[in-house]
């Protein structure tokens, strides 16, 4: 039996083994004009396999690149585009740079830290106090999401002071009660209305 596991590995399996066999055959054609004609025919067949991709920019360019890859870069034809070089696929991938945000309290998040910085820059007054109170309440909610047990308001005040680098010091804000926050955050149970007759519970007009 001729199993695929015993055959040569396909460079681009999405095109199938029949297309690969065509490419292998083109490599054996000695006449250059015949090779060019055969290559263009294969490109047309490859394009027909994925007609929905024809609207993509450089679709034809990609097909010719794929042909070069399937031919192991050994196909000597008149490419309409510069064929890719084998060295391109041997280079190590570039390192992906990740944002190096040092977040002191991850359960509060980086956005909240920026908001605290903005609030600290406000001029003293009612608007600043309202904003700080809202942020402190949000911090308490975030903390309880991370730690479902409880949190002392003093902990929120200390974290607020540390996040603001000492610019915001409060100890008497109007923070929501822990039980109220947990109650609002708890998923509500859906009422089971199966088997109930809505007319039975409808008030008389």
Sorted by where each begins, the domain ranges of the chain are: 10-89, 110-185
Go through the chain and tell me how many residues it has: 205
DSSP 36: H
pTM over 0.75: no
What confidence tens digit (pLDDT) does each residue in 115-134 have? 999 999 999 999 999 999 99
Nearest to 11 by CA among 61, 99, 101, 84: 84
What confidence tens digit (pLDDT) does each residue in 64-87 have? 999 999 999 999 999 999 988 888
């Amino acid at each position: 039996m001729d199993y695929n596991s015993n055959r040569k590995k396909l460079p681009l399996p999405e095109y199938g083994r029949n297309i690969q066999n065509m490419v292998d055959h083109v490599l054996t054609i000695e006449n250059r004009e015949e090779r060019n004609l055969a290559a263009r025919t294969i490109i047309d067949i490859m394009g027909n396999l994925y007609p929905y991709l024809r609207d993509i920019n450089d679709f034809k360019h990609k097909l010719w690149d794929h042909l070069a890859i399937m031919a192991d870069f050994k196909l000597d034809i008149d490419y309409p585009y510069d064929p890719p070089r084998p060295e391109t696929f041997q280079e190590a991938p570039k390192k992906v740079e990740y944002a190096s945000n040092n977040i002191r309290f991850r359960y509060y998040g980086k956005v909240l830290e920026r908001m605290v910085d903005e609030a600290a820059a406000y001029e003293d007054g009612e608007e600043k106090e309202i904003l700080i109170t809202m942020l402190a309440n949000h911090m308490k909610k975030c903390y309880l999401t991370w730690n479902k047990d409880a949190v002392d308001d003093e902990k929120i005040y200390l974290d607020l002071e540390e996040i603001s680098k000492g610019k915001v010091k409060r100890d008497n804000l109007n923070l929501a009660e822990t039980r109220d926050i947990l109650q609002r955050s708890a998923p509500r149970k859906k009422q089971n209305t199966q088997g109930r007759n809505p007319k039975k519970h409808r008030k008389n007009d």
